[in-house]
Amino acid sequence: MDYFLQNFPQQLVNGLEAGSLYALIALGYTLIYGILEMLNFAHGDVYMVGAFLAAGVAGVFVHNEVAAVPAGLAVALMMVLAMGGAGLLGVGIERVAYRPLRNANRLAPLITAIGVSLFLESAVQVWVSPAPVLVPSNALVPQTVFHLGNVVTPLTGVMLFVVAVALMVALDAFVFRTRFGSAMRATAQDREAATFMGIDVDRVIMVTFFLASALAGMGGVLFGLRYASVDFFMGYLLGIKAFTAAVIGGIGNIRGAMVGGLLLGVLESLVGGFISSQFQDSFVFLALITVLLIRPQGLFGQPLADRA
């Protein structure tokens, strides 16, 4: 019990860090599912590409000694390029792989999504690097470490949490407070009716893909700064975990994805910390199965209404 109390706060912080990343990626799953009722299984790989874009920018500024640029500006450039690049990639994927199948059998876009996912992984493996690539985070962000009692966390971990939460709040405001947000919600509720109301559904879908993918790109940047290493396979397991988080929260529900992500991160960290690291991943999928059996609409989900 002593052991538990002493280590619980640190494991909680560890879990919140991991969980905010899950939440950021889960939002993408949930946004796209909300609008199109399709699972974009390439989403984890969009995140991976975002991380590689960030690593590329970081590499140019740190290794090639274009050091006239202050570190802060380099980080800002990483964020802009990774979010923009991932966003455009998302839009491109939608245009090429999903739009032609929008009225096809529901399985068809799911299969192209898996195809796109495999393509992105192999493309990065072959054209960029089969081995992990370093993100020189030491040269970009201060290596400050915060101590709070016996809880320790580096600045990059705090950044991961703060930026992720800020983006989630901004997204929530965008969807629920703006005109375009209501267009998104209208499209989610009934695509045909939305068309009759004069909403450009194609444009709404494009913007949704851009937003979802840009969030994933930002996830890639934050991950790179925190863990200093990216590889072509990093999007696979994380994508599945984020999907699990989205389902736990209620797929299609934005606030559900945020809570689902944080919850999954914390639970995973506690299982790893107090039960066994061996069961961490199996636990994630056990949680997925349990939720699907007991409450298939997820914690926050209302079956087939009020999505997005």
Partner 1 sequence: MAQPRILVLIAMAGVGLAACGGTSTGGAAANKPDKVQIAAEGPFTGDEASIGAGALQAIQLAVKDFNKAGGVNGTQVTLLVWDDQHSAQVAQTLQAQGISDPTVLGIVGPMNSGVVLGSVQGLQSATPPLPFVSESASNVKVTDSGNSVAHRVNARDDAQGPADAKFMIDQGAKKVYVMDAKSDYSTGLADQTQAYLASHNIPYQRDQAKAGQKDFSTTITKIKAFGADWVYFADEGPEAAPFVSQMKQSGLTIGQNIQFLGTDGEEDSSIITTSQGAYDGAYATNITADPAGVSGSAAAAYVTAFKAEYGPDSVSKAGPFYGSAYEAAQALLQAIKNSPVNNGKISRADVISHLASDTFTTIFGSVKFDAKGDVTGGGIYVYKATGSSMVVVKQVSG
Q: Which residues ranging from 16 to 75 are in contact with partner 1 (CB under 8 A)? A: 17-18
User: Binding residue for partner 1 (CB under 8 A) from 166, 237, 286, 289?
Assistant: 237
Quick one: 28 or 265, whose CB is closer to partner 1? 265
211 and 31 in contact (C-beta within 8 Å)?
Answer: yes
Interface stretch with partner 1, choices 94-102, 126-134, 184-192, 283-291 (CB under 8 A): 126-134
Quick one: 14 or 208, whose CB is closer to partner 1? 14
DSSP E strand stretches across 221-305:
229-230
Pairing between β-strand 229-230 and β-strand 151-154 as defined by DSSP bridges: unpaired
Beta carbon of residue 168, minimum distance to partner 1 (angstroms, whole number): 20
Q: Does 302 bind partner 1 (CB under 8 A)?
A: no
Number of H helices, E strands in the chain: 11, 4
Q: For residues 233 and 231, what is the distance between their CA atoms, to the nearest angstrom?
A: 6
Handedness of CA 90, 99, 108, 208 (dihedral sign): positive
Residue type, 274: F
Q: Does 280 bind partner 1 (CB under 8 A)?
A: yes
The size of the interface with partner 1 (CB under 8 A), counted in residues, is: 38
Quick one: 125 or 189, whose CB is closer to partner 1? 125
| Structure-block tokens of residue 189 | 């509720």
Query: Which phi-psi region, left, alpha or beta, contains residue 306 (left: φ > 0; alpha: ψ -120 to 50)?
Result: left
Task: Please report, as ranges, the residues that interact with partner 1 according to CB under 8 A.
Answer: 3, 6-7, 10-11, 14, 17-18, 125-126, 130-132, 134, 136-138, 143, 145, 152, 154, 156-157, 223, 227-229, 231, 233-234, 237, 269, 272-273, 277-278, 280-281
